Amino acid sequence: MKNILIVDDEADICLLLKKFFTKEGFVAETVSNGKAAISHLKAHQTDLIICDFKLPDYTGLEILQKVKIINPSTQVIIITGYSDVKVAVEALKKGAFDYVTKPLYPDEILITVQDALEQGASNNAKKLNRKTSISNAEFVVGPSQQSQTVQKHIDLIAPTDMSVIILGETGTGKEYVAKSIHEKSKRANQPFLAVDCGALPKELASSELFGHVKGAFTGALNDTKGSFELANGGTLFLDEIGNLAYENQVKLLRVLQERAIKKVGGIKDIPIDIRVLVATNENLKDTINAGEFREDIYHRLNEFRIELSPIRERTDDISHFADHFLQSSNQQLDKQVQGFNDECMNVLKKYYWHGNLRELRNVVKRSVLLCQSTHIDISCLPIEITDSTSSIKGSMEVSFNGAIPGSLKEVVAEAEKRAILEVLERTDNNKSKTAQMLDVDRKTLYNKLKIYNIDF
């Protein structure tokens, strides 16, 4: 039975959520301020905290930072309003699992809570057992030429100990590729640990990666192992490597060169035997030129490179993956949907899929939930999917004024920029709604806005 703490100074919200989660089988407690929340966390096992951003004594970000120091495994969900989108993005960067916007809908929060607890349980299993089962990862190979090439590269590189950079847009399955490489390697029976560098709180990133000794900083009550030590003997997957702070890039370079780590506050080197896989949706050469990423680390990591094409460039895979997601959704939702009708599948194949496989999986799961017959039809699809195939896609025709584009990536970038501008216009520049419609997280959207010089 999982323990949830609700932190909000609005008594009616606390009462509503406590009753709802108690009914759903959780142990739910409430407090009205940040000081009480910290005291509760120190005294009681707490798996997840739902915290309002605006509290009488602390902000949600301050509570988040304190929680991550006291018990990093406790998941945190921030409650905020649409006017606080930038704050919500900052919360995600500092380690919040997600944020929920007001007004609150219990059923929606329940899904977010379940996902957060599932991730927390997975992370705890990695730390306690030092081994991670990936039998449910299910890396699926599509029939397209691009997918077959990726599989050949995985089979080729897996038995070696070479570092690999995995490139691809958000949602293309970079972590699944990393897990597949690990599973096919000589380290398959050793730990596999995945770390999202973009979600590491800046103040705690060094501790999360390399560990710390007791007394290294305020709140460091015990010696703690970091991700490198926990994955010792196995594989460490660093996702969104381009977001790693410069000081930690320096430490990472030393680890790659010396094969040893030094804990925060520690004085002795700890030898490690580890394979490092990294991923990014950015062009690392651009970040190197901008002085945001060290070139020497890039060359250390770039022993082999695997590039994942967006799903819109391999339409042969769409029906294959849609069927796979349908079967897994049937199992999760206890449904018996048999497939998609022809009209629905045509819509899926024509859609742009900004969020790639992750977006496709979510759309299929939602459609299975709504389907009341044996086959999914277009009435089960989100309106942004059915509308966009005719309106957004039509408005995104890319023109280079008669010139030949320099590369396919240039074409994709221009189309992506037009898609973002189109949805921003539709949502009156509401970044949260735009990210939702494009099925990307807020951090990714803000990165894209910066890359394409879109004012916000």
Whichever domain contains 366, its CATH number is 1.10.8.60
Tell me the pTM. 0.61
Banded pLDDT at 123 (limits 50, 70, 90): low
Distance CA 60, CA 52 (A): 6
What pLDDT was estimated at residue 221? Answer: 78
Both 290 and 431 in one domain: the answer is no
Average pLDDT of span 401-423 = 72
Average pLDDT of span 298-314 = 92
Q: Any idea which of 19-28, 57-66, 138-147, 163-172 has the lowest mean pLDDT?
A: 138-147
- Domain count across the chain: 4
pLDDT at 232 over 50: yes
Average pLDDT of span 310-338 = 91
What pLDDT was estimated at residue 367? Answer: 92
Domain boundaries, position 397: 393-451
Both 73 and 118 in one domain: the answer is yes
Banded pLDDT at 220 (limits 50, 70, 90): confident
Average pLDDT of span 407-420 = 76
Both 72 and 203 in one domain: the answer is no
Q: Any idea which of 24-38, 100-114, 239-253 has the lowest mean pLDDT?
A: 100-114
Average pLDDT of span 324-351 = 92
Both 298 and 345 in one domain: the answer is no
Both 274 and 302 in one domain: the answer is yes
Both 426 and 283 in one domain: the answer is no
pLDDT at 325 over 60: yes
pLDDT at 127 over 70: no
Report the alpha-carbon angle 284-188-167, nearest 5.
15
What pLDDT was estimated at residue 121? Answer: 59
What distance, in Å, lies between the first and last C-alpha atoms of the chain?
A: 43
Helix spans in 95-245 (H)? 106-129, 145-157, 174-183, 205-210, 227-230
Distance CA 146, CA 319 (A): 15
Among 253, 246, 264, residue whose Cα is nearest residue 204: 264
Both 285 and 150 in one domain: the answer is yes
Structure tokens at 359: 């977006």
Both 284 and 319 in one domain: the answer is no
Structure tokens at 249: 């890039």
Among 236, 242, 224, 232, residue whose Cα is nearest residue 298: 242
Average pLDDT of span 380-406 = 60
pLDDT at 376 over 80: yes
- Sort 319 into a burial class: Cβ within 10 Å, 0-12 / 13-18 / 19+: middle
C-beta of residue 27 within 8 angstroms of C-beta of residue 1: yes
Distance CA 36, CA 19 (A): 20
